[in-house]
Structure 1
């Protein structure tokens, strides 16, 4: 599929994803710059996730009557201005204000971009279109964190935020020139948001994102320390492991679109959930050789990042008139899942050690698989607003 607009939306997702998640690799430089502990610097991620989760669905609903090209490019500009403010912030409070501004802009980009991507292609190509659109976000999460870390240590954390701003401004300009006007997508309103939240089927369907990615982040958050302690890896070894994870993410994103079009979104999600459980359990429980760790991380990453496209396609099929709001809630659930997984992993690590991370992660994914079965059993009921 050759569609330059889809590639530009993917580029926007990459820039925004790098700006959103890249701060994980900037905690130490920022903490040193403002003489604060790393735990306090971590609020850069926590505040972004909180503002995004609380505002994105509401803002997407409130702006549902406006032209999608205007909303998407406007969100990119707001995000870019937030990155500029972070780059020049004189104190950490200003950095947090900048992160909140970035979250407000970012809350439009992923869900609105997905809605546009779906609208630009025939129904039978939606899976591949979403794979392209979300390929940018996948690359950002897989490669953006180590890239930002390297930039932060080598050139300074302000340079990292400045680079994100430049990429985002550039993407906004290119999309404004390239996007067709008056793109036909279902309009969103607060009533449509209320319709989703009032539907147990749709709420459970979106919850699968938080559960599936929550399970992944239980282990991913502590993958570096785990590899250091269990396998004695240093800087280069951990970097290589993260790069393998990144390769798996790219493969997984493409595989998710292919499987979604071939066997359907629901079957794909069940398969991926089982695959993630099958890789997470032995990763922390068994005394693996070094090669085994790298192979499992690759397979786990493929299973993990193949998830996004079929989940989006599933949501779009459940209630087509409510697709934009569902995409916004699903994007918010990504950040909720990351937060839940990180907190859960920290508690498990303190209480039971690295060995328990895999079983805890698998438990969350198993609950997610249960939600798939529950939604399937409830689907015969009419969905409000659909």
Structure 2
């Protein structure tokens, strides 16, 4: 078995795959208005496309990773990339909302296989002393999709039509599938997650309570983030360029927060770090219910909202790995699913708030949801087993 270091293209390729996954998943945020207008759907109704995707990912990812454990990794990753390409093509050609939702479910299935399997391949083919850096490099593509993919997809949708954003995903995913077939070693097999392992962890109530903090924290974020484009359009009068720019600012904040999160968790421990990040979200997100504000204030709000929001993952993973022991791979797989559960619940809740109180209320609703996430953190911290890492 050759090491990943002997193939300098493999890790960038897997990172590129995660970039495509991120664009496929979250570009919907930047195209809600043109998509909804074309298909005759309100912003709240169009936002449920993210809910459907997230629920499908959360359900399908652990199951499909477990069921595909005996198949060669090259075949699994190639099939996953092709699924994403197919799903994007179906979405681009969708005549109505029902077909578009089918496309989103297929995309979630492909993404739900690709991301965890890519991480497992990178870890397996890398020297142990470089494994953490290699995994960070593989996931860097997903983070960069927030900086580049989402605003670019939004700009394309407002300029040429929302269907072209999905065609972009297809055009990106097809060469990724081909390159994976050419670069990933043939015959690479292992069983990262078994159905039995999943069942055992799910039955550990205190561990699952800790895992689901990921859902409540990100759920609060997605109450607001899912509908940021129509909110900016209706309150700030922004069109294509303004919305794409604020999404770019948000993405830059996400990258900076992602990089700082590990330092914060190492310096202050997971509990203090996560509680502090909840408090920042409680303060910042209700400010969006005060729009319109000056562009400078909006830029600062958006950067720091994203910065503190995306800094949470390192502390949460530190906590879960310390609790899980030998079952850490399974717990981290469930934590990845919990991300999408949070996105699903948050986008659904945001749609309900818009339908009931109007779009201006989603900032305040997101702040209330962040307060509930802080309560969840404190309750789960008291009930959870003490982690192996210092807190």
* Bin for the TM-score computed over the shorter chain: 0.7 to 0.9
| Separation in 2, partners of 1:95, 1:354 | 24
- Give the Å deviation of 1:55: 1.6
- Give the Å deviation of 1:126: 6.1
Q: 1:162 aligns with which of 163, 167, 184?
A: 167
Q: Is the 8 A contact 1:252 1:306 kept in 2?
A: yes
Instruction: Report how many aligned residue pairs link the two structures.
Output: 381
Q: Is the 8 A contact 1:60 1:324 kept in 2?
A: no
Secondary structure at the residue paired with 1:64? coil
User: Residues 343 and 87 from structure 1, CA distance in 2 versus in 1: closer, same or farther, beyond 3 angstroms?
Assistant: closer
Q: Which consecutive unaligned segments of at least 5 residues does structure 2 have?
A: none
Q: 2:153 aligns with which of 148, 155, 167?
A: 148
Match of 1:223 in 2: 228
Deviates more, 1:281-290 or 1:164-173: 281-290
Describe the superposition over 1:31-74 as per-residue Cα deviations: whole angstroms up to 9, x where unpaired. Answer: 566x5435665554343223222222212222234444443333
- Alpha-carbon RMSD across the aligned residues, in angstroms, is 3.6
TM-score by length of 2: 0.81
Deviates more, 1:78-87 or 1:232-241: 232-241
Q: 1:76 aligns with which of 56, 81, 94?
A: 81
| Separation in 1, partners of 2:137, 2:264 | 14
Would you say 1:369 and 2:374 are equivalent positions? Answer: yes
- Give the Å deviation of 1:258: 4.2
User: Residues 362 and 121 from structure 1, CA distance in 2 versus in 1: closer, same or farther, beyond 3 angstroms?
Assistant: farther
Would you say 1:210 and 2:215 are equivalent positions? Answer: yes
Would you say 1:298 and 2:303 are equivalent positions? Answer: yes
| Separation in 1, partners of 2:185, 2:166 | 30
Match of 1:196 in 2: 201
Q: Is the 8 A contact 1:268 1:310 kept in 2?
A: yes
Q: 2:242 aligns with which of 237, 245, 248?
A: 237
Describe the superposition over 1:72-127 as per-residue Cα deviations: whole angstroms up to 9, x where unpaired. Answer: 33322222222233344566544433332222211112222334445556778666
Deviates more, 1:207-216 or 1:351-360: 351-360
| Separation in 2, partners of 1:189, 1:284 | 45
User: Residues 236 and 154 from structure 1, CA distance in 2 versus in 1: closer, same or farther, beyond 3 angstroms?
Assistant: closer
| Separation in 2, partners of 1:235, 1:293 | 16
Would you say 1:16 and 2:21 are equivalent positions? Answer: yes
| Separation in 1, partners of 2:183, 2:281 | 38
| Separation in 2, partners of 1:120, 1:75 | 20
- Give the Å deviation of 1:302: 0.7
| Separation in 2, partners of 1:159, 1:377 | 49
Q: Is the 8 A contact 2:80 2:114 kept in 1?
A: yes
Describe the superposition over 1:185-227 as per-residue Cα deviations: whole angstroms up to 9, x where unpaired. Answer: 7631111111121011221122111111111122223334444
Deviates more, 1:368-377 or 1:35-44: 35-44
Secondary structure at the residue paired with 2:212? helix
Describe the superposition over 1:222-258 as per-residue Cα deviations: whole angstroms up to 9, x where unpaired. Answer: 3344445555555543333222112111212222244
Q: 2:333 aligns with which of 328, 331, 338?
A: 328
| Separation in 1, partners of 2:373, 2:322 | 19
- Give the Å deviation of 1:276: 2.4
| Separation in 2, partners of 1:275, 1:231 | 23
TM-score by length of 1: 0.82
- Give the Å deviation of 1:25: 3.7
Q: Which consecutive unaligned segments of at least 5 residues does structure 1 have?
A: none
Q: Is the 8 A contact 1:114 1:327 kept in 2?
A: no
